[in-house]
Chains A and B, each alone.
Chain A
Amino acid sequence: MRESGGGEDGRATAEEYLRLLAREPNSLRFAEYADRLRCMEKLADAAKLCEHGLARHPTYATGHVVMAEILLDADMPEKAAAELHEALRLDPRHPRAHLALGELLLSRGEMASAVAEFEAALVYSPGLPEAEAGLAQARGKAPEAHHPRPPAAAATGRKPGERPEWLTADNTGEMIDLLAPCASVGSAAMAGEDGTIMAASPHAAAAMGTAHAEVELVGEARSLVSRLGAGRLRSVLISGGHNRALYVPLGDLVLVAGLRPGSSVDEAAQQVEAAINAGPGVSESEVTHGV
């Protein structure tokens, strides 16, 4: 399983759990600690801790839900689905299990089943924002009907924030070329994890020396989003004076897109996402129309 970041915090969390276990051998709080490790992207440690807890408490539904979320983060959807079905067998009223299953079904394009799961989540936890959002999307009544912003996972299998398969450190210039026809984007640059500019459009090359501050902002936003349980970072938009820029995390790379004055930020985000998902070889009209 993927492991990145949170090393010291991860160790501290695991050690804290071991101390708790020494005091309270039958504690159910393993799920909470495993979830914390998951949020730190310490997936192997999170899975190990959760497995250990579930071995002692196999009928604890929340433990199975946390295990499912760890497996989803590790791109193991089939095993995650099995954990969610087990959680719902143990507790058919578990809103988080219904929510996670709804999101899984949504990513597979099984809209009718996803609707049923989101509705069930809302029955047992009225007003749950993630379930409302998922339900709106699954029913096709979400605001993206006007400005389609499909989750990358549903459209291409790429999760928000992940690097597309076609993009490597050696072809970052392709990303700049893909954005050239976008009406909302005036300049573009690709930055590495250390803030070095790897490729840039002529205007961006003239305006930017490095992108240290931008890369730091995206890294911090990704971390804070995870800590808030807000899912995965899709993009960061900043605006001030005459400048508006969209930063899109692509694995360990960051795309910096300067927006044209007067352009719609929603359309810009849509065009950038379409270009990333389309990859090289796409026609100009496909990118400009966000198909």
Chain B
Amino acid sequence: MVFERSAGTTPTLREALRPLLEVEGVLGGVLCSADGLPLAAALKDGLDEDGLAAAGARLGQLAGGCLGDDGLEIAVIDASRLMIVVRPVSLGYLTLAANPLGEMEAAIAAAKQAGATLEEIAAALATAA
């Protein structure tokens, strides 16, 4: 997955998520605040943006509670019709939806890469502010 941006501009959060749609088996992603409010999304048709955002935040909080001091790096919820990957980012949580028959490792790698791009954007926005 290669993230492209125009020279001299800070990409939008949605632009950071759009490359997820090109990853095989990935159905898109939602960035939400820590309390589950959607901030940006790039999802294929038929996926529930608000529902995924709320689920990602709730599951991220609970999964973090299981790890204690170690802190959550990634959580994967594997269901028969959808795989959901939750990645904490500084703005909240990135929730990625993927094909339930795909490999978890591939979905985790996609979430980590998108998460890193989101962090770059968040840092750029903070500097600009």
Contacts and interface: CB of A to CB of B under 8 A. Distances in A.
On whether the two chains bind one another, the answer is yes
Interface of A: 125, 127-130, 132-133, 136-137, 142-144, 146-147, 149, 151, 159-160, 213-214, 216-217, 220-221, 224-225, 227-243, 245, 264-266, 269
Q: Is the interface of B mostly helix, strand, loop or mixed?
A: mixed
Interface of B: 25, 27, 44-48, 51-52, 54-55, 58-59, 62-67, 69-82, 84, 97, 99-106, 108
Contact of A220 (B51, B59, B82, B100): B59
A228 B49 CA distance: 10
B46 A238 contact: no
B84 to A, nearest CB: 7
Q: Is the interface of A mostly helix, strand, loop or mixed?
A: mixed
Contacts of B108: 239, 265
Contact of A241 (B62, B71, B103, B104): B71
Contact of B62 (A216, A229, A266, A269): A216
Contacts of A214: 66
Contact of B81 (A159, A229, A241, A264): A229
Contact of A230 (B73, B75, B82): B82
A217 B99 contact: no
A236 B47 contact: no
B57 to A, nearest CB: 10
B44 A129 contact: yes
B80 A160 contact: yes
Contacts of B66: 213-214, 217, 238, 245
B82 A239 contact: no
A104 to B, nearest CB: 13
A216 B63 CA distance: 10
B13 to A, nearest CB: 22
Q: What 6 pairs across the A-B complex have the smallest Cβ distances?
A: A241-B70, A231-B80, A231-B81, A230-B82, A240-B67, A237-B76
A217 B59 contact: yes
Contact of B75 (A216, A234, A239, A242): A239
Contacts of B58: 220, 224
Contacts of A269: 78, 104
Contact of B72 (A125, A160, A228, A240): A240
A225 B48 CA distance: 12
B101 to A, nearest CB: 4
B81 A240 contact: no
B108 to A, nearest CB: 7
B75 A237 contact: yes
Contacts of B44: 127, 129
B105 A224 contact: no
A131 to B, nearest CB: 10
B67 A230 contact: no
B104 A228 contact: no
Contact of B73 (A129, A149, A240): A240
A225 B99 contact: no
A221 B81 contact: no
Contacts of A235: 76, 78
A265 B76 contact: yes
Contacts of B104: 237, 265-266, 269
Contacts of A238: 63, 66-67, 72, 74-76
Contact of B70 (A225, A227, A234, A243): A243
